[in-house]
Amino acid sequence: MVDSVHPPGTGIPPAEVADYVPPHAHGWWARYVFSQDAKYIAIQYSLTATGIGLVALVLSWLTRLQLGFPGTFDFITTEAYFQFITMHGMIMVVYLLTALFLGGFGNYLIPLMVGARDMVFPFVNMLSYWVYLLAVIVLVVSFFAPGGPTGAGWTLYPPQAILSGTPGGQSAGIILMLVSLILFIIGFTMGGLNYVVTVLQGRARGMTLMRMPLTVWGIFTATVMALLAFPALFVAAVMMLFDRALGTSFFMPTLYDLGERLSYGGGSPIAFQHLFWFFGHPEVYIVALPAFGIVSDLVATHARKNIFGYRMMVWAIVIIGALSFVVWAHHMYVSGMNPYFGFFFATTTLIIAVPTAIKVYNWVLTLWRGDIHLTLPMLFALGFIVTFVNGGLSGLFLGNVVVDVPLSDTMFVVAHFHMVMGVAPIMVIFGAIYHWYPKVTGRMLDEAMGKLHFWVTFVGAYLIFFPMHYVGLAGVPRRYPEIDAAFVPDSIGALNAFISLAAFAVGAAQMLFLFNLGWSLRRGRPSGGNPWRATTLEWQTPKTPPEHGNWGKDPPLVYRWAYDYSVPGAPQDFIAQNDPGPGAAHGGAA
Amino acid sequence: MSIILTFLAVIAAIAGWWLSRQRLLSKPWLETGLSPAGLDAPAVSQQKVGLWVFLAVVGGLFALFGSAFVMRNADADWQRLPMPPLIWVNTAVLVLSSVYLRAAVRAARRHDARDLRTHLATGGALALMFLFGQLLALRALAADGYVLALSPSSSFFYLITGLHGLHILGGLAALGLLGLRLNSGAGAARLRLGVELCATYWHFLLGVWVAALAVMLGWARSLIEICGALLS
């Protein structure tokens, strides 16, 4: 561990770091592969997450091929279908969204936005990425293992997850899945320690907590939650691994398989559900809170207006983070729990809507009479707000026990969580990439390709998931590869085919986005250091892309909050956070 | 899930106390200047904060195992595991190990390199002894027929003991690195921080072990019942 040259926050003025030696990585390997620079680690995280996310995208196409045109494709057996949906869900939730928001955006933005030179423990940070990569490799290996990957559904409920009737249950699939999850959690913990301690200890002078951009607040709170929630998945995975590999019965009751009594006995499958959702529900907000934070900054910057109700926004993030730990059992209304429990969890679930609604109102009020620039980041931010509201509304239905019981395990649930946890955060990820790509590469992404990408993705996502609510209301259960026409009207088949076509179109638009990422790297318009005229520190670096160490000789001093846009009387329509203001000498003490 | 919720409530209380000192009611849009109220990050070392965050994660992990245990052992068919008596010797050894690490911290603060070396070595050796003793205890259990997969009670015992042992092993690795640095003549100030970190980790793992024993022996349940009886 390298001590930072300027221990931030100890009140040492930057004059003392005249002998600052920029970190110097020796050789190509140390610079580009085993880099300890948080920005490189962020790019490594992002590329790996995108790569494995593409696998999950293809899996969703295969799923839609089967659902839209059942019986047409011989290679999609029932087992293969289960494997597709399982791996699609697990990859998207854990290996893409979590890794991209925290490992990708967290690594890139936290040090830059709080004015640090790097994460506080760069070596551990590097290790975090490599353990994550190992987790992804183990996951990929499971595709090629005999018997294929697990098909237990992304929730991996026992006892079926490790029985012979489930694909991968009695072969290597489930073992590799559990090992991969355990590795992911170990790797994430290493990174998470860095994100939290950097925010706590690494902030530049003058960067009080209440001056941090909401992006940092969102990622910080989500990381704290993830550090406390992922151990629940860890515990569940370790115990299930013991059940599968060593014959223990943590989750396995006495049962018969193909007429034969298994050696299991005395375990509790419900215990797994509690552990899984104790992780699983906070996970929703682990993905949502960074999205909330980022979207706040996108909206403020591209509407040239300070964020409405900054304090409320901070409090709401913290309150949502805390509340999300006491709602987990709303995923378990049909597990036979005590109805009073259900009542309690329905209440806490609906209470979360209050801080969430505050955030939505504040975004809208920020836009109100703002100077809205319909740039690509703004388009995606607007797309997020609309989608999140729509997805959240069906959450109010599902949060109530009496409504949830008939809708449970139908396509309605699938449509709900894809809107709120799939489409909405992905919108923010796209918006954030269009927003920060110029800082990462020094070039703008192509606008025309971006517009096409946005409209196909946004409209397409609605064409996919709005009809899916109706499919669910008609009673089509989730996870069924095919449903007999005797049970549902014929129109459901037509609707499913339509949804599939929309899904392929949206998928194709993502190829355009990836092409844009590569094309703009060379051909994009040079962006300069601060193309969006934004206030936050990452846009004030001496070089773009920022070099290792971020700030050259002197780390920044912070004189104001992150949202001084369109300040009356100011020479420009923004005042950077490290701008001491009129009349003050640069670098002087306040 | 009562144990993990209690644990999280404690974490939330600490986080709330800390947040309450961060001027969450201030109006940042009205304040310009370097430090509106001299509120910069506190001057605690990054490594210490890092360790405490890590300990919160480890604590959560064991609290979750505790929760899973309590969820299961409330059922009527729970078979209690006879504790091998060696467990008590091991616990005493772990306490002693923790005491020696505490002594090492004091030696490091005195800049007494000789004492530091002996205390660290003794503390580390005792921790190794603890691990060895735990292995013997598990072997004794297995010899009596209480193998890992026999019943949930024995599975839990093996799992929690093993995971705690792994954490001790990780601590020993850190202690080993510290010993190497001591031998290569590292500065006292740098070593002092390392020794303090190790000692904190040691005390924490001792606490985890005592709490795990209390839960697995059923003391925790009795304690809750007594408290409940007093309250009602």
CA A107, CA A294: separation in Å to the nearest integer? Answer: 14
Predicted pLDDT at A15? 37
Record: contact B31-A266, CB cut-off 8 A? no
pLDDT of residue A30: 81
- Residues B90-118 have a mean pLDDT of 93
Q: What does the alpha-carbon distance between residue A537 and residue A558 come to, in Å, rounded to a whole number? A: 9
Residue of A nearest to B44 (CA): A201
Nearest-CB residue to B61 (from A208, A211, A231): A231
Q: With 90 as the cut, is the pLDDT of residue A1 above it? A: no
Range of the domain at B155: 45-75+83-231
Reduced to 3 states (helix: H, G, I; strand: E, B; else coil), residue B5 is helix
Residues 156-195 on B with a CB inside 8 Å of A are 156, 159, 163
pTM for the predicted model, two decimal places: 0.94
What's the rounded Cα separation, in Å, for the pair A505 and A327? Answer: 36
Helix or strand or coil: residue A257?
strand
Please check the confidence at residue A413 and state whether its pLDDT lies above 70.
yes
With CB atoms and an 8 Å threshold, state whether B41 touches A201: yes
Let me know how long chain B is: 232
A279, pLDDT greater than 50:
yes
Please answer yes or no on whether B41 and A200 come within 8 Å at the CB atom.
Answer: yes
What is the domain partition of chain A in residue ranges?
35-540
Residue B188 — pLDDT band, cuts 50, 70, 90?
A: low
Is A210 close to B77, i.e. CB distance below 8 A?
no
Q: For residue B121, which of B185, B209, B200, B182 has the smallest C-alpha distance?
A: B182
Q: Which residues of B touch A326 (CB under 8 A)?
A: 5
Is the pLDDT assigned to residue B28 strictly greater than 60?
yes
Size of interface A-B (CB pairs under 8 A): 164
Q: How many domains does chain B have?
A: 1
Is residue A419 within 8 Å of residue A524, measured between CB atoms? no
A267 burial level (CB within 10 Å; 0-12, 13-18, 19+) = buried
Give the distance from residue A308's alpha carbon to the nearest chain B alpha carbon, in angstroms: 11
Closest CA relative to residue A214, chosen from A286, A319, A294 = A294
List chain B residues with CB under 8 Å of A263.
149
Nearest to B224 by CA among B18, B10, B74: B74
pLDDT of residue B22: 84
pLDDT at B42: 58
Predicted complex: ipTM over 0.95:
no
Q: Which stretch of DSSP H or E encloses residue A260?
A: strand A260-261
Judged by CB atoms closer than 8 Å, whether chains meet at B71 and A278 is answered as no
pLDDT of residue B114: 86
pLDDT of residue A52 exceeding 70, the answer is yes
CB contact under 8 Å between A242 and B43, yes or no, is no
Q: What is the mean pLDDT of residues A491-515?
A: 96
Residues in Cβ contact with B42 at an 8 Å cutoff, skipping those fewer than 6 apart = A9
Please give the helix or strand (H or E) that residue A256 lies within, else none. strand A256-257
Q: Report the distance separating Cα A131 and Cα A149, nearest Å.
A: 20
Q: Model confidence at A5, in pLDDT bands (50, 70, 90)?
A: very low
pLDDT of residue B187: 65
CB pair distance less than 8 Å for A228 and B65: no
What is the predicted pLDDT for the residue at A14? 42
Q: Crossing angle for the helix pair B188-217 and B219-231, nearest 10 degrees? A: 70
CATH number, domain of B165, equals 1.20.120.80
Residues of A in contact with B64 (CB under 8 A): 231-232, 235, 275, 278
Complete DSSP assignment for A91-143:
IIIIIIIIIIIIIIIIHHHHHHHHT-SS-S-HHHHHHHHHHHHHHHHHHHHHH
- The total number of residues shown for chain A amounts to 590
Rounded CA-CA distance A171/A174 in Å is: 7
CB contact under 8 A, A196 and B60: no
DSSP 8-state symbol, B30: G
- The two tokens of residue B180 are 């190497």
For chain A, percent of residues with pLDDT exceeding 90:
82
Q: Which residues of B touch A192 (CB under 8 A)?
A: 57
pLDDT at B40: 54
- A64-73: long-range contacts, CB 8 A cutoff, minimum separation 24: A64/A499, A64/A500, A64/A503, A64/A504, A65/A500, A66/A481, A66/A482, A67/A481, A67/A496, A67/A499, A67/A500, A68/A496, A68/A497, A68/A498, A68/A499, A68/A500, A68/A501, A69/A497, A69/A500, A70/A481, A70/A482, A71/A482
Rounded mean pLDDT, A388-416? 93
Collect all residues of chain A within an 8 Å Cβ-Cβ radius of residue B26.
208, 210
| Min Cα separation A332/chain B (Å) | 14
pLDDT value for A63: 96
Q: What is the torsion angle, in degrees rounded to the nearest 10, for the CA atoms of residue A362, residue A368, residue A369 and residue A370?
A: 60
- Please choose, from the candidates B195, B19, B217, B230, the residue with its C-alpha nearest in 3D space to the C-alpha of residue B120: B195
- pLDDT at site A582: 73
Chosen for mutation from B45, B57, B161 (greatest number of chain A CBs closer than 10 Å) is B57
Assigned CATH for A35-540: 1.20.210.10
Per-position DSSP letters for A306-362, written without gaps between them? PPTTHHHHHHHHHHHHHHGGG-GGGG-GGGT--HHHHHHHHHHHHHHHHHHHHHHHH
* Residue in chain B lying closest to A583 (CA): B33
Answer for the pair A416, A477: CB distance below 8 angstroms, yes or no. Answer: no
- Give the three-state DSSP class for B68: helix
Tokens of A387: 């989608």
Task: Place A587 in a pLDDT band, splitting at 50, 70 and 90.
Answer: very low
Q: Which residue among A4, A231, A314 sits closest to B64, beta carbon to beta carbon?
A: A231
Top residue of B17, B45, B61 to mutate, by most chain A CBs within 10 Å, is: B61
Share of chain A above pLDDT 70, in %: 95
Alpha-carbon gap, residue A256 to B123, rounded angstroms: 51
CA distance A13 to A234: 43
Q: What is the pLDDT of residues A207-244, one digit of tens each?
A: 989 999 999 999 999 999 999 999 999 999 999 999 99
Whether B178 maps to a domain, the answer reads: yes
Average pLDDT, chain A: 91
The reply to whether residue B152 touches residue A271, judged by beta carbons under 8 angstroms, is no
HSE (side-chain half, CA atoms, 13 Å) at A174: 31
User: A226-265: buried (b, 16+ CB within 10 Å) or exposed (e) per residue?
Assistant: bbbbbbbbbbbbbbbbbbbeebbbbbbeeeeeeeeebebe
CA nearest neighbour of B72 among B163, B152, B2, B154: B152
pLDDT of A378 reads: 97
Q: Please tell me which residue of chain A has the smallest CA distance to B43.
A: A10
